[in-house]
Structure 1
Amino acid sequence: MASEKLILVDFDHTLYRRDSLVEFTRYAVGTRRWFWGIVRLMPILIGNRIRLRDGASTKAAWLRYFFGGWPADTFQATGKSFALHQIDRHLDPTLYPYLKTLHNGTIVIVTASAAEWIGAWTEREGFQLLATRLKYAEGKLNGELEGANCNGPEKVQRVKMSYDLNQYATIEVYGKGRGDRELLGLAKAVQQHQ
């Protein structure tokens, strides 16, 4: 019989009040390079904003521009440092404390962000993580995604591949973005939280 609680939480703009890729990039490359990179990527970013370009190709272009060719160990160490020293500064002041009060359930961060820059934080907090995977070649980040971007319908697919939803009497879902609509549909026995 189903008795446990599953809590599915989006990261960017839900649990974390900003876009973690943008913040991680600024942390990793410095404000000056970050700013000029945004200027150079502006046509791509505008194309994404007005939906002429999808999120996965926009993210790949961003990663290639800022991080293409970075050694894997350097990229991962920088991401770990960001996760452990920067994420706490911008957590939702209501949702995060609520999650920390839960002792009977499984909390899963389901995000289009990558484990490289949030994984150390989720591990420290005792949360599980379903995230976008990045590609490496010859020990370097190549700026491509490994599989689909964990956003929209892909979030639901990843959850269903990783968890038997019938084992949970309650499924709480927290998501505020347009990429969370499908995930919100998994909520069971509680109200959806937007």
Structure 2
Amino acid sequence: MDLSTGRSIKILSVFDFDGTLTHHDSFIPFLRFAFGRRFFARRVVRLALPTLRCMRRKLTRDELKEVLIKTFLTGVDEQWVRQKAEAFCSAYWNKLMRPAGLLAVSAEVSSAAEVTICSASPAMVLQPFADRLGIKLIGTELEVKDGVLTGRITGHNCRCGQKVKRLESVYGELSDYHLRAWGDTRGDYELLAAAQDAHWRHFHPAWSKRRSPLEKLRMSAIS
């Protein structure tokens, strides 16, 4: 309850997916699973130079992501990808998901909060996971024409400030909510900064949490 207005405050609980609810990235393992190890190995060689350029900061992470999607998903049938995503979820659920993260999602759902995943990974790949969790999903959208993936994304990669913008496009002004957020990488900083209740690497082992990005921002503001 907001004492100043007398209105009940809605709770919006937002979970990053890769590395937060999961033990590690999901998209690369999905591509290996969907296309098979031999095909994956042949195609991934093409990413060596773009990856090197990204390491040298001559290519952004978003641009590298676009190269990855173009390399593997150009001209691929949309329904085939969705079927593979369902199979991947069934095969890798127990290996991929963090038990503590699953409990946290369940607790948020039970509290009657509005709960969603907000991830840079393709929504098409993560939809079966969101469905199994019984929550909503916001992710990077893959462009589809006539039922076939073009190898491009629609809009922007859903990371950093885009996470906040995408949430606002779905839920409206975030100030209308008590925002709870869970994240684990630089791509979650803006989301965590917007939250009243921010959780940095909440499900990770203690040694991997280190100082949170919000603490770093506060320290830099003081100094």
What TM-score results when the alignment is normalised by the length of structure 2? 0.79
Give runs of ≥4 in structure 1 deviating > 6 Å.
none
Match for residue 127 of structure 1?
A: 135
Taking only the aligned residue pairs, the percentage that are identical comes to 27
Give, in whole Å, the separation in 1 of the partners of 2:86 and 2:57. Answer: 32
Shift of 1:191: 4.4
Give, in whole Å, the separation in 2 of the partners of 1:58 and 1:68. Answer: 15
Residues 50 and 77 from structure 1, CA distance in 2 versus in 1: closer, same or farther, beyond 3 angstroms? same
Q: Does 1:156 find its partner at 2:164? A: yes
Shift of 1:51: 2.9
Match for residue 6 of structure 1?
A: 12
Q: Does 1:48 find its partner at 2:60? A: no
Contact 1:136 1:142 (C-alpha < 8 Å) held by counterparts:
yes
Residue identity matched to 2:74: G
Contact 2:192 2:198 (C-alpha < 8 Å) held by counterparts:
no
Give, in whole Å, the separation in 1 of the partners of 2:198 and 2:65. Answer: 32
SS in 2 for 1:192: strand
Q: Does 1:108 find its partner at 2:116? A: yes
Match for residue 25 of structure 1?
A: 31
Question: Rg: which structure is higher?
Answer: 2
Give, in whole Å, the separation in 2 of the partners of 1:87 and 1:49. Answer: 31
Give, in whole Å, the separation in 2 of the partners of 1:62 and 1:2. Answer: 44
Give, in whole Å, the separation in 2 of the partners of 1:52 and 1:128. Answer: 35
What TM-score results when the alignment is normalised by the length of structure 1? 0.90
Residue identity matched to 2:128: A
Q: Which has the higher contact order (CA 8 A, sep 6+)?
A: 1
Give aligned pairs, total: 192
Give, in whole Å, the separation in 2 of the partners of 1:72 and 1:161. Answer: 25
Contact 2:21 2:97 (C-alpha < 8 Å) held by counterparts:
yes
Q: Does 1:136 find its partner at 2:144? A: yes
Q: Does 1:193 find its partner at 2:203? A: no
Give, in whole Å, the separation in 2 of the partners of 1:66 and 1:48. Answer: 18
Contact 1:109 1:129 (C-alpha < 8 Å) held by counterparts:
yes
Residue from 14, 37, 40 that aligns with 1:34: 40
Residue identity matched to 1:39: V
Render the CA deviation track for 1:126-146: whole Å, top value 9, x for unaligned. 111111100122321111001
Q: Over the residues paired in the alignment, what is the CA RMSD in angstroms?
A: 1.8
Contact 1:7 1:172 (C-alpha < 8 Å) held by counterparts:
yes
Contact 2:182 2:198 (C-alpha < 8 Å) held by counterparts:
no
Residue identity matched to 2:187: G
Match for residue 83 of structure 1?
A: 89
Give, in whole Å, the separation in 2 of the partners of 1:2 and 1:45. Answer: 48
